[in-house]
Structure 1
Amino acid sequence: MNCYDCHQAGTPTAAVAVCRTCGAALCPDHLKVSTQEIHRQEGMGLSTSRQPARRLTCPTCHDAEHRF
């Protein structure tokens, strides 16, 4: 599978991941890695995981989620 953004630019590049939001294939140059806290219901409140989850997105989805 090739990176969608590289394909749009006319340069086929092997993909190493898939955007969790839109499903586009991504090469290392177009991959955005961030973290997300995981909350679980525990008793009468919430418990936050000690280690945040890894979140892989494309530049388009990353910008849409972080720019208001």
Structure 2
Amino acid sequence: MMKCYDCMEEGKDSEATCVCITCGKGLCTDHTKELELPVSVGQPPNVERLPNGLPRILCKYCFDQTIEDSFD
């Protein structure tokens, strides 16, 4: 079974429940951040945003870097 990488760095032993889509680290639910990407359909000028986006799971480090890079 895959172990949570961040827990290992803290000296804990937890099973991973997901993988960061950016760096590939195995993570437990305590060490994940969810980023919802908006989804749009249609062709301009008739573009419609769907009510539910695509959930993306990231580790806290990648989440912080993604948010920081997006607003520089």
| RMSD of equivalent CA atoms | 1.6
Instruction: Tell me the distance in 2 between the aligned counterparts of 1:44 and 1:37.
Output: 16
The Cα of 1:50 is off from its aligned counterpart by 2.6
Q: Say whether residues 1:26 and 2:27 are aligned partners.
A: yes
Q: Say whether residues 1:38 and 2:45 are aligned partners.
A: no
Letter in 2 for 1:63: D
> Counting strand residues as a fraction of each chain, which structure ranks higher?
1
> Counting helix residues as a fraction of each chain, which structure ranks higher?
2
Equivalences, count: 67
What TM-score comes out, normalization by structure 1 length? Answer: 0.82
SS of aligned partner of 1:29: helix
Report the equivalent of 1:50: 51
Letter in 1 for 2:52: Q
The Cα of 1:39 is off from its aligned counterpart by 3.1
Percent identity reads: 31
Structure 1, unaligned runs of 5 or more: none
Structure 2, unaligned runs of 5 or more: none
Report the equivalent of 1:59: 60
* 1:12-50, Cα deviation, whole Å (9 max, x unpaired): 11111100111100011101112110234x334544323
Structure 1 moving runs of 4+ over 2 Å: 42-50
